[in-house]
């Protein structure tokens, strides 16, 4: 008979003692459970002890989290959080440097636990941390443990960042600005400042003033990848917290310092693969830079602006330079005005230099094309849209030059002219030409060219005839797949191919994925890994360090049996998206969030997928484990691709043969069956 749901069978360990195997009654007060465990080992003062997980983050067991204990869990009897907090509070004040360092190291580890952190902070432990830093005697390993402990304690949001003293902040800033400082100390200091910046305007201004852009650029030029990453994180935090005017000034200064060329050469094109975190920061830097164009994008032409009038006259003079020189010398003022108006009309309807010899009906409207192309590029590059919290998609060629948008426009406006000629277009074909141009640009950008020169080559190769071929191929493929016999064959093939997709999804879950922890305050550095066991019976997960790509299943100590899985939640239904304050949801986080509900108490394991691709594969895979249909858009795409390939192979012998919509009629049966061989007569 299975045990009641309020009873779990667990093992409890203690150093130097034989483990106890007990049945934990969840309705029994935890203090009584501890008393029984201590009595079994003849330990007095049970209130000084606590239970703690032996694996994972070694979290303390409390009344609020005890329901998470599973059958077969192994716990450890250890010093209670309040006793441990008191011991470490005394230890970090020791005059013995070894004792002090060991205490700070243990403090940095235990501070990840919310129960311990609360106890330590209640003892005014942060004040002692501040004193160690402000005193300035701690260096190297001791200082690194101190800063790590501070970071972990602040993660729980018990204390506001605005309460930090000016002396403490100045000391953290000094570690960033000094050269002869341990790299681990500088990394932690940069992370502390990164956390500080978004919390208040005052802290932003202080950090911006004390840590100059030149200093951050110096850190970006080191060979230490982690230090480089933390410097980039602080730079992005400053840019996001700045006002529009401040952001523009900062980007102008960074452009003067050739930051894009440096990133292009020393970060994007290094021998080391680009990590997810750095890819995200490069995406944000690209987005922030391009969004500086938003004000101009939303500004209409002002006929009374002297600056804009001068720009138009400069454009006219450039286009009609030789003609203008002649007219200026030979014509009267009235005649020159008339000629100027004529030139402007011509400029609005033609590419002056190349199109001047064409027939009027084939003239390409330069001004109109320029305006429409600008709008197309703004849409493709998402100018004016907020930065995503998780996106990593950036264009490597963006960092190849300082005036990316302008250079891209110059290439694409020539493309408009080239495509106009290839289509032999007239004024009535304007929208069709721009649709083709948009397709040429988006198809080429999807190839991720590494430089504008490469983009120019590829986009010009993709001429109008190539676009027609691609469209025709896609249209023929669609028409082939709509024939009634083909549709019937598709339906017959579907079950087999869906099973293939299911197996692929489960295989992907077995390989595992690295996830990031997202909080309402910032994009976290903390990582965790999740993967399915090879026998598809258990989901393993646990925290990991930065830089890990494949984690052995044995090192993932947290487990969820597949049999305990209840349902899958996505998007707004997930508890971790509902927890965010004031309802200001970033759209991309909602699109990547999913939660796995498990056990009788309906606990949740919350995910934010790194990409939409991973979201689709994981939600499909979990639905397979739950015995439900796969519902992601990726499943449909994969199914269409597999069906297309399978159909082409099956119909290979029928190439250039028209498939009828209805099967041919079945002929009438013959009048007699005398032609059949009678097997009843055997040869003698």
Q: How far apart are CA 83 and CA 196, in angstroms?
A: 31
DSSP codes, 559-605: EEEGGGEEEEEEGGGSHHHHSSGGG---HHHHHHEEEEEETTTTEEE
Helix locations, 55-200, DSSP H: 81-91, 97-110, 114-122, 125-135, 140-154, 166-177, 183-196
The whole-number pLDDT of residue 579 equals 60
Band of residue 334 on the pLDDT scale cut at 50, 70, 90: low
Lowest mean pLDDT among 245-259, 436-450, 584-598, 655-669: 655-669
**Residue 149 pLDDT more than 70?**
yes
Band of residue 357 on the pLDDT scale cut at 50, 70, 90: very low
Question: Averaged over 495-504, what is the pLDDT?
Answer: 94
**Residue 322 pLDDT more than 70?**
no
Question: Averaged over 20-33, what is the pLDDT?
Answer: 89
Lowest mean pLDDT among 216-225, 338-347, 535-544, 669-678: 338-347
Structure tokens at 651: 């119909």
Lowest mean pLDDT among 68-72, 193-197, 290-294, 377-381: 68-72
Average confidence score pLDDT of the chain: 84
**Residue 332 pLDDT more than 70?**
no
The whole-number pLDDT of residue 347 equals 58
The whole-number pLDDT of residue 346 equals 60
The whole-number pLDDT of residue 341 equals 60
Residue 526, SS3? strand
DSSP codes, 205-220: HHHHHHS-HHHHHHHH
The whole-number pLDDT of residue 623 equals 94
pLDDT in tens, 200-244: 999 999 999 999 999 999 998 888 888 989 999 999 999 999 999
Question: Averaged over 254-278, what is the pLDDT?
Answer: 84
* Comparison of pLDDT for 88 and 387, the residue scoring more: 88
The whole-number pLDDT of residue 4 equals 61
The whole-number pLDDT of residue 115 equals 92
pLDDT in tens, 503-532: 999 999 999 998 887 665 544 457 889 999
Enumerate the β-bridge partners of residue 541: 530, 558
The whole-number pLDDT of residue 321 equals 62
Question: Averaged over 639-649, what is the pLDDT?
Answer: 86
Structure tokens at 166: 């000016």
pLDDT in tens, 66-97: 888 888 888 999 999 999 999 999 999 989 99
Strands ordered across the beta sheet of 538-544 = 513-518, 523-532, 538-544, 558-561
Question: Averaged over 42-71, what is the pLDDT?
Answer: 86
Band of residue 359 on the pLDDT scale cut at 50, 70, 90: very low
The whole-number pLDDT of residue 525 equals 57
The answer to whether the Cα torsion of 650, 655, 659, 663 is positive or negative is: negative
The whole-number pLDDT of residue 1 equals 45
Enumerate the β-bridge partners of residue 539: 532, 560
Band of residue 358 on the pLDDT scale cut at 50, 70, 90: very low
**Residue 37 pLDDT more than 50?**
yes
**Residue 117 pLDDT more than 90?**
yes
pTM: 0.75
- CB proximity list for 378: less than 8 A, separation 6 or greater: 293, 297, 384
**Residue 23 pLDDT more than 80?**
yes
The whole-number pLDDT of residue 352 equals 43
* Comparison of pLDDT for 517 and 568, the residue scoring more: 568
Lowest mean pLDDT among 119-133, 428-442, 659-673: 659-673
**Residue 472 pLDDT more than 80?**
yes
The whole-number pLDDT of residue 353 equals 45
């Amino acid at each position: 008979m299975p045990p009641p749901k309020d009873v779990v069978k667990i093992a409890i360990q203690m150093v130097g003692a034989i483990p106890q195997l007990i049945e934990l009654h969840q309705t029994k007060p935890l203090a009584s459970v501890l008393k029984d465990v201590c009595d079994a080992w003849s330990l007095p003062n049970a209130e000084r002890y606590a239970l703690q997980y032996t694996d994972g983050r070694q979290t303390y067991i409390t009344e609020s989290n005890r329901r998470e204990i599973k059958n077969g869990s192994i716990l450890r009897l250890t010093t209670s959080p309040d006793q441990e907090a008191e011991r470490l509070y005394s230890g970090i004040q020791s005059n013995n440097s070894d004792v002090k360092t060991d205490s700070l190291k243990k403090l940095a580890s235990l501070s990840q636990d919310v129960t311990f952190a609360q106890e330590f902070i209640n003892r005014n432990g942060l004040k002692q941390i501040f004193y160690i830093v402000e005193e300035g005697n701690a260096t190297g390993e001791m200082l690194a443990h101190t800063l790590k402990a501070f970071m972990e304690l602040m993660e729980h949001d018990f204390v506001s960042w605005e309460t930090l003293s000016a002396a403490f902040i100045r000391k953290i800033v000094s570690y960033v600005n000094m050269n002869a400082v341990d790299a681990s100390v500088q990394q932690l200091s940069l992370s502390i400042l990164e956390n500080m910046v978004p919390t208040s305007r005052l802290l932003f201004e202080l950090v911006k003033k004390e840590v100059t852009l030149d200093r951050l650029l110096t850190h970006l030029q080191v060979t230490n990848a982690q230090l480089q990453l933390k410097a980039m994180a602080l730079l992005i935090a400053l840019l996001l917290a700045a006002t529009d005017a401040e952001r523009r000034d900062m980007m102008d200064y960074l452009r003067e310092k050739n930051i894009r060329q440096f990133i292009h050469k020393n970060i994007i094109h290094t021998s080391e693969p680009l990590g997810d975190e750095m890819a995200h920061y490069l995406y944000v830097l690209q987005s922030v830079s391009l969004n500086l164009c938003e004000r101009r994008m939303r500004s209409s032409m002002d006929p009374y602006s002297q600056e804009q009038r001068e720009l138009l006259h400069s454009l006219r003079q450039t286009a009609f330079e030789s003609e203008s020189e002649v007219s200026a010398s030979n014509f009267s003022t009235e005649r020159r005005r008339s000629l100027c108006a004529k030139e402007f009309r011509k400029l609005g309807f033609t590419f002056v230099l190349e199109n001047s010899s064409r027939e009027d009906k084939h003239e390409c409207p330069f001004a109109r094309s320029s305006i429409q192309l600008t709008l197309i590029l703004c849409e493709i590059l998402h100018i004016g849209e907020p930065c995503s919290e998780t996106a990593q998609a950036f264009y490597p060629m963006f960092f190849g030059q300082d005036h990316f948008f302008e250079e891209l426009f110059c290439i694409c406006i020539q493309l408009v002219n080239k495509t106009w000629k290839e289509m032999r277009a007239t004024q009535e074909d304007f929208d069709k030409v721009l649709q083709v141009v948009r397709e040429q640009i988006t198809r080429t950008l999807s190839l991720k060219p590494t430089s504008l020169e490469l983009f120019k080559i590829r986009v010009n190769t993709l001429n109008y005839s190539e676009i027609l071929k691609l469209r025709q191929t896609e249209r023929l493929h669609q028409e082939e797949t709509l024939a009634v016999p083909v549709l019937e064959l598709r339906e017959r093939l579907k079950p087999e191919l869906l099973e293939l997709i299911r197996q692929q999804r489960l295989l992907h879950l077995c390989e595992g994925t690295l996830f990031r922890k997202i909080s309402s305050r910032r994009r976290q550095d903390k990582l965790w890994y999740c993967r399915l066991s090879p026998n598809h019976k258990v989901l393993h997960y646990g925290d990991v360090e930065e830089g890990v790509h494949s984690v052995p299943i044995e090192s993932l100590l947290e487990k969820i049996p597949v049999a305990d899985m209840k349902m899958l939640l996505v998007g707004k239904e997930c508890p971790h998206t509902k927890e965010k304050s004031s309802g200001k949801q970033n759209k991309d986080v909602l699109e990547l969030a999913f939660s796995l509900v498990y056990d009788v108490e309906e606990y949740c394991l919350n995910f934010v997928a790194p990409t939409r691709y991973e979201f689709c594969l994981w939600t499909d895979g979990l639905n397979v484990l739950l015995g439900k249909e796969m519902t992601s858009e990726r499943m449909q795409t994969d199914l269409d691709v597999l069906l297309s390939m399978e159909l082409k192979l099956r119909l290979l012998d029928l190439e250039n043969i028209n498939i009828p919509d209805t099967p041919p009629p079945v002929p009438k049966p013959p009048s007699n069956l005398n032609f059949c061989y009678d097997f009843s007569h055997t040869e003698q």
